[in-house]
Structure 1
Amino acid sequence: MRIFLKSIPMLILGVVLFVPNVFAANSVTRLDGASRYEVAVNVSKQGWSSASTVVVANGTAYADVLTAAPLAYKYNAPILLTESSKLTTPTKNRISQLKPSKVIVIGGTISVSNNVVSEIKNLGVSTVERIGGRSRYEVAQNISKKLSSNSKAVIANGTAYADSLAIGSYAARNGIPILLTTASSIPEPTKNAMGSKGTTSTIVVGGEISVSKSVYSQLPSPTRIGGNSRFEVAANIAKKYYSSSKAAFVSNGYTYADALAGSVLAAKQNRPMLFTDAGSLPTATRAVIGSNSKNTFTVLGGTISVTTNVVNQLKNVIVGKKVFVDAGHGGYDSGAVGNGLKEKDVNLAVAKLVNSKLSAGGAIPVMARSTDVFLELSERVAKAKSNNANLFVSIHANSASPAATGTETYYYTKYEADNSKRLATQIQNRLYKALNTQNRGVKIGNFHVIRESTMPSSLVELAFISNVNDASKLKSALYQEKAAQAIYEGIIGYY
């Protein structure tokens, strides 16, 4: 930015000492194991030191067990998993430790064989009850018969597991049966279950591909919680029912076993179930974490299901925060020019790096521009507001006499003055160190983009494009990377 554009009153607030890169972190606990059976055992250890009842289900077929969470919650029972033909060793050992007087087996003999039932009885369990049926729809109906009276029912697609698991903790906590449907028609067992329980209202989980308009119209007083993906459906459930909760469970959205085992523990702790990809948090999951300021997470499954990268994103205090990254100038407005550089190009290069770092860190960055285009100052502010940005960071390079040198960061006092000052300070304290430039301090600057932005906002001047030494750094890919890292860490430091 040319220095003559700044011919307005400014106040240097002084130099703040460098703050070490030690950041606060969200709390993340992982419940894992060498197999899905061990994960279920470790979930049970987190929530139960003993249990009079245990629920056992097939760990490799989801059809029968989608609706088991409300039943397990009613009896304060952990859900353990087994193979069809034999009781898995981790599950056998855990049943012995819990010493239940009753085990409820979910599904018919194809799902859980009579041999497994015999093995359970041989552990000294006095009562083994099987809840089965000729189809997954009938199993759901028979489970609903065991629940207390409730005029509500959850309706989810029975040929896909994600929606049932996303609503499982809420349904369990509130004693609401989960009944299953096909996309295009309501199976007779589901109709019969609603009739016998006197269902007067339904919560339909999933979009119209999962539960069609035709099915929806046949249900009593339906309310749909949908979304464009399984991640968005789970996020929308969390928004609707858990907006005040600062904690959540997180499971891989493409596998069912870990979320099933964790659903009852989530219900006991009154927390939602959120879904993730194995390698990175989806935008929908990030968004609900950020909007609800969630900061405590229980991750279900090992590093194949949920990688360390996802855990690191969850730990990062910027997870889900929307940060507006404004690369100053652009298009026909080149900004300052000097020493073979155009300011607009430097600004964009650093802004792209900041954007990538924020995204990798779990935030939701929004760029004012990602190409060489011109935007009015008012357009930049409007875009930040329309995206409900939590922070606004504008990136510039300075220009004055050839002798002028150094790094400075600005804020304004119209909106969020204290927070804007804190943001500017966190960035400045790292930026001049990273660039090894003169520290020109944190200042008040009456610039449109930080004056009119209603969220905490700052404008950074990386260095002087008009100074030979500063310009050599602005031209360097290494120093552009250092600048971006410093801005990124400053944003983390703000939180």
Structure 2
Amino acid sequence: MRSLLKVLTLSFLGLVLFIPSALADNSANRISGNSRYATAVAASKKGWTSASTAVIVGGDAYADAITAIPYAYQKNAPVLLTNKSSLSSATKNRLLELKTKNVIIVGGTPAVSNDVVNQIKKLGISVKRIAGSTRYETAAKVANAMSSTSKAVVANGFVYQDPIAIIPYAARNGYPILFTNEKTLNSATAGAIKNKGITKTIVVGGTNSINSTLYSKLPSPTRISGKNRYDLSVNIAKKYNLSTSNTYVSNGFRHPDSVIGAALAAKQNKAIILTNGDNLSKEPRAFIGDKNIKTFSVMGGTPSVADKVVTQLKNPAVGKTIFIDPGHGDQDPGAIGNGLQEKDVNLDIAKRLNSKLNSAGAIPVMSRSNDTFYSLEERVKKGANANADLFISIHANSATASASGTETYYDETYQSANSRRLAEEVQPRVVSAFGTRDRGVKTAGFYVIKYSKMPSVLIETAFITNSSDAGKLKSATLKDKAAKGINAAVSAYYR
């Protein structure tokens, strides 16, 4: 008996220990400080406990930082930032913590003054500077200081967001990042290509960054571009199959945080993707959902990336495409009773759900967003064409005046177990929102859930033909609570 109790106890403990991880939200941790200099220091602490060599660039010299990172990677050196006229205190303290012996400054005196050089030397650290009279020359000199390679990345030296996401890939493969303008191959870049024997180039950015004429003059060029800076960062991560086990996320307009994040991503062999700072952009959302990414490092404080974005990243349903199907429409009113038409109730709840899913970081798609009619076949096809991860059909019920309550249906043709699990998450939350009678989770062969191949449910929110239920369906507050409940059910489904 004691042996049996011991086995049962261990089994129970194992179950208890398993549950929290199964129910956990995604992980999204900030790497930040109270300034760009402090953020760079915080990033260095994630990658280095000591460093005999460190690379320092000016806090406003984004081009210098971009070209410096592949070089710093070869030196196993963190990249730190400084004020141009005096060594930033956070950077000074970090150099001492790292027991740094050698500092390499990338950039000229307009970016990092000689006063900074002297302050570093007073710490007993030797200093070397790599600089040219232009950003093109500086990039070329950095390239010449790197190990030999036959491939280079070429980007517009004034469009900083273009090369951010390719920095980890370039660094780990030993490719220098060279600069040009939109139309002309400058002599410094041309010289670096010749001196290093570059035979292949990766051109980052569209024709607005580097036009087709210049592109054709580069050695065996391959272009990677996107519809915008967010799309470009995602396309780079996809094309070069960058590791997404812990993806770095940064504001596409906050270059100091982005370049420092790219340096750490290179060290850890991870991808970095860009987003709007106030709301997770649709391109990274789709990428996150497609790759099922669960762990993130967010670069910068709330001025760079708002808490809302962090909350979206933590949502297990982030990036998942949720198809919302408000039943009926136009000439098909659905159930009618107590001054309500079902088509209007369904659409109202669906719009509220659409807004909440979008705000939470999912990708909602609606079969209809106005009083339009689509056949059942068209609704199923729309869900399939959207590559939806879940299909949620919203309806209201009708029967005799005495019938009341909420019920959620699933079909057993496709994804039976997952559809049931989704229904079991939805049902109690909608019941709680409306305060209706719980009629339970049921199976039925309704067309839209029978022929949709993703996990699918059909919700009968309440009975239009019951005066009490109809009163609840008239309440904007309760319909909003129901939409909130369905949104929560979607997140719970992915936990």
TM-score, normalized by length of structure 1? 0.94
Matches within 5 A, 1:418-437: 418-437=417-436
Task: Give the 5 Å matches for 1:83-94.
Answer: 83-94=83-94
Measured in 1, the distance between the counterparts of 2:392 and 2:348 equals 14
Instruction: Please give the secondary structure, in 2, of the residue aligned with 1:54.
Output: strand
Partner of 2:40: 40
Say which SS state the counterpart of residue 331 (structure 1) adopts. coil
**In structure 1, what is the Cα distance between the partners aligned to 2:163 and 2:261?**
13
How far did residue 308 of structure 1 move? 0.6
Question: 2:261 matched to which residue of 1?
Answer: 262
Equivalent residues in 2 for 1:60-75, closer than 5 Å: 60-75=60-75
CA offsets 1:208-229 (integer angstroms, 9 cap, x no match): 1111111221222222211111
Offset at 1:64?
2.3
Q: CA 1:117/1:275 → structure 2, altered by over 3 Å: closer, same or farther?
A: same
* SS across alignment from 2:188: helix
CA distance in 2, matches of 1:399, 1:151: 71
What is the match of residue 5 of structure 2? none
Aligned counterparts, 1:279-294, within 5 A: 279-294=278-293
The superposition leaves residues 292-341 of structure 1 with CA deviations (integer Å, 9 ceiling, x where unpaired) of: 11111111111111111111011111111111111111111100000100
Q: Greater CA deviation, 457-466 or 176-185?
A: 176-185
SS at 1:185 equivalent: coil
Q: How far is 1:63 from its partner? A: 3.0
The CA distance in 2 between the partners of 1:223 and 1:246, in whole Å, is 27
Write out aligned runs for 1:214-363 (5 A): 214-242=213-241, 245-363=244-362
| Aligned position for 2:408 | 409
Task: Give, as a single letter, the amino acid of the residue that structure 1 aligns with 2:442.
Answer: K
Q: Distance in 2 between matches of 1:187 and 1:367?
A: 50
CA RMSD of aligned residues (A): 1.5
Distance in 2 (alpha carbons) for counterparts of 1:415 and 1:181: 54
Does residue 390 of structure 2 align to residue 395 of structure 1? no
Distance 2:24 2:487 in 1: 15
CA contact (8 A) 2:47 2:268 kept: no
Distance (Å, rounded) in 2 between the aligned partners of 1:413 and 1:183: 57
Q: Contact 2:242–2:269 at 8 Å: present in 1 too?
A: no
Q: SS state of the match for residue 428, structure 1?
A: helix
Aligned residue runs from structure 1 range 74-113, under 5 A: 74-113=74-113
1:140-193: CA deviation from partner (whole Å, max 9, x where unpaired): 111111221221111111111101212111111221111111111221211111
Matches within 5 A, 1:367-378: 367-378=366-377
Residue 24 of structure 1, CA deviation? 2.5
Q: How does 1:154-173 map to 2 (within 5 A)?
A: 154-173=153-172
Query: For 1:67, what is the secondary structure of its paired residue?
Result: helix
- Rounded Cα–Cα distance in structure 2 between residues aligned with 1:447 and 1:217: 57
Aligned to 1:298, the other structure's residue is in SS state strand
Alignment-derived partner of residue 438 in structure 1: 437
Read off the aligned partner of 2:115 and give its amino acid letter.
N
Displacement of 1:65:
2.2
Asked if 2 retains the 8 angstrom alpha-carbon contact of 1:246 and 1:293, the reply is: no
Q: Given the superposition, is the C-alpha separation of residues 315 and 479 from structure 1 closer, same or farther in structure 2, using an over 3 Å criterion?
A: same
Residue 274 (structure 1) shift? 1.0
Identical-residue share of aligned pairs (%): 53
CA contact (8 A) 2:243 2:269 kept: no
Superposed CA offset, 1:445-473 (max 9, x none): 11111111111111111011111111110
Alpha-carbon distance in structure 2 between the residues aligned to 1:401 and 1:213: 70
- Cα distance, 1:42 vs structure 2: 0.8
Equivalent AA in structure 2 for residue 41 of structure 1: V
SS in structure 2 of the partner of residue 279 of structure 1: coil
State how far apart, in whole Å, the 2-side matches of 1:263 and 1:78 are: 11
Question: Match for 1:298: what amino acid?
Answer: S
The equivalent of 1:459 in structure 2 is: 458
Distance (Å, rounded) in 1 between the aligned partners of 2:296 and 2:407: 37
Contact kept? 2:169, 2:242, Cα under 8 Å = no
* Other structure's SS at 1:275 match: strand
Give the paired residue count: 475
Moved more, 340-349 or 178-187: 178-187
Aligned to 1:450: 449
Higher relative contact order (CA closer than 8 Å, sequence separation 6+): 1
**Structure 2 unaligned blocks of 5 or more:** 1-21
> Shift in Å at residue 244 of structure 1?
5.4
| Structure 2 equivalent of residue 29 of structure 1 | 29
Stretches of structure 1 that go unaligned for 5 or more consecutive residues are 1-21
SS of the equivalent of 1:100 reads coil
Post-superposition shift, 1:61?
2.7
CA contact (8 A) 2:252 2:275 kept: yes
Q: Distance in 2 between matches of 1:435 and 1:314?
A: 29
Kept in 1: contact 2:243–2:271 (CA 8 A)? no
CA contact (8 A) 1:169 1:267 kept: yes
Q: Take 2:306 and 2:244, find their aligned partners in 1: how far apart are those partners?
A: 24
